[in-house]
Amino acid sequence: MEAARASRADLLDPGELAALGHIEIVARWIVDGFLSGLHRSPRKGFSVEFADFRPYQPGDDLRYVDWKIAARSDRWVVKQYEEETNLRATLVLDVSRSMDWKGASRAAGLTKRAYASQLAAAVALLLLRQRDAVGLIRFDDAVRSSIPPRARTTQWRRLSGAIAEPAGGRASDLATALAGTARLVTRSGMVILLSDLLVDVDAALPALRGLRAAGHDVTVFHIMDPAERRFVPGGEAQYTDPESGLAVPAGADVRTAYDATVDRVIDEWRDALGAMGIAYEVVLTDQPYAVALRRAFDARVRRS
């Protein structure tokens, strides 16, 4: 079990994994590891590629009854086909200044942006291997990269190149980015948002609701540093938001209240997004990628 765990890159520590190679290579290791651990149970449907027979059951579409077999053996069976999707997925990656941060106690850890980028690359590769069309939007206070969803073999190279581009380092304007996504993906598909959600909530929620109304399946990965999830005070100091410049004096005494507040914020996001039918997952930057990948894979399966 441990040997298998050690051989699967999706289960390794993200910080250690990032040190092993470029984002493109690492993404392959992650996806390979993830797929090798996945029990292959593809959903059988009624697509163009034949997969198997099964006995006819009342209610089955008569178009799929194999009449030749019925004639020869007086047995009613229906043909099953490997389901073939034509999913269009768009990764919306937050590369704002707040994402370019990690807790001081994790010298070997990844910034939120590095973690989200690696996760985005892995998800993109996973989807591309499923022959889905994958696009990308990187944003901070404006849309920095915009790659329409494609299923071509060169798409992976474009996506990984864009993901690895340096960040703009500005504030987050999620609403604008989601509006751009809506324009970019005209057909309903899957949208995966990777962000620390340190955004204007009042603007972001309507934009997410708009995406959902457009028929998109939306999954939100709330990327958080462990030091954001549970406050680790370094003594009395002015805690300053690098994006907004908001400075809050605090010390160890506020830790409890902070943790309770973050719990409440997460609950609020989960409630608000759940009400819209949007999947929401908090992802800590010290978690193995498998957790988030499983979530993305489930979303893809659900979509198909």
Partner 1 sequence: MNFLAPLYLVLAVAAGIPLLLHLMRRNVGARVDFPAARYLQRAEQEHSRSLRLRNLMLMLLRVLLVVVLALAAARPFLPGLGVGHGPTAVAIVLDNSLSTTALADGAPVFERLRAATGALLRAATPADRLWLVSADGRVRGGTREQLLAELGRITPSEGAGDLALALRRAAAATAAANLPVRSIAVATDGQRTAWATAVRVPGRISVLVPPGEPPANRAVVDAATDPPRWTPRGTITARIEASDSVAWRILIGDRTLARGSGGMGIPVAVRAAPPERGWQAGRVELERDDFRADDVQHFALWIGAPPAVSVDAGAGTFVTTAANALAADGRIALSPGGGARIASADVLMSLPALVLPPTDPVRLGAANRSLARLGIPWRYGVLRRGPGIVRGTRLDGVGVTERYLLRREPGAESDTLATAAGEPWIVAGDGYVLMGSRLDPAATTLPLRAAFVPWLAETLALRLGGPAGESGAPVRTRPGAPVRLAGGVDAMESAAGARRAVSGTATHAPDERGVWFMLRRGRRVGALVVNAPAEESALARWSAPVLAARLGGRDRRAAGSGDEWVRSAFTAGSSRPALVPLLVTALLLLAAEAAVVRSTRSSRSIA
Footprint on this chain of partner 1 (rule: CB under 8 A): 97-99, 101, 104, 196, 198, 228, 231, 234-244, 246-251, 253-254, 256-265
Closer to partner 1 by Cβ: residue 22 or 264: 264
Q: What is the DSSP letter of 40?
A: -
How many H helices and E strands in the chain? 11, 11
H or E element in which residue 156 lies: helix 155-163
For the stretch 80-119, what's the b/e string if a residue is b when 16 or more beta carbons lie within 10 angstroms of its beta carbon? Answer: beeeebebbbbbbbbbbbbbbbbbeebeebbbbbbbbbbb
* Secondary-structure breakdown of the chain: helix, strand, coil percentages, each rounded to the nearest 5: 45, 20, 35
Q: Which is nearer to partner 1, 6 or 237 (CB)?
A: 237
Cβ proximity to partner 1: between 113 and 300 the closer is: 113
Backbone angles phi, psi at 206, to 5 degrees: -60, -35
Q: How far is the CB of 154 from partner 1 (least distance, A)?
A: 35
Q: Exposed (0-12), middle (13-18) or buried (19+): which is 127, by Cβ within 10 Å? A: buried
Of 21 and 234, which has the nearer Cβ to partner 1? 234
Pick the closer one to partner 1 by CB: 200 or 298.
200
Shortest distance, position 34 Cβ to partner 1, whole Å: 29
**In whole angstroms, how close is the CB of 144 to partner 1 at the nearest point?**
18
Smallest separation (angstroms) from partner 1 to the CB of 131? 37
Q: Please, which residue, 71 or 246, has the CB nearer to partner 1?
A: 246
Q: Which is closer to partner 1, CB of 66 or CB of 281?
A: 281
In the complex, what is the shortest distance from the CB of residue 13 to partner 1, in angstroms, rounded to a whole number? 22
Taking the complex as a whole, the smallest distance from the CB of residue 289 to partner 1 amounts, in Å, to: 22
How many whole angstroms separate alpha carbon 273 and alpha carbon 269?
Answer: 6
Enter the DSSP assignment of 43.
P
Cβ 256 to partner 1 shortest distance, Å: 4
Backbone dihedral angles phi then psi of residue 213, each to the nearest 5 degrees: -65, -25
Backbone angles phi, psi at 91, to 5 degrees: -95, 125
Query: Burial level of 65, CB count in 10 A (0-12/13-18/19+)?
Result: middle
Contacts of 18 (CB under 8 A, 6+ apart): 26, 110, 114, 118
- Output 158 or 222, the one with its CB closest to partner 1: 222
Q: Min. distance of Cβ 227 from partner 1 in angstroms?
A: 8
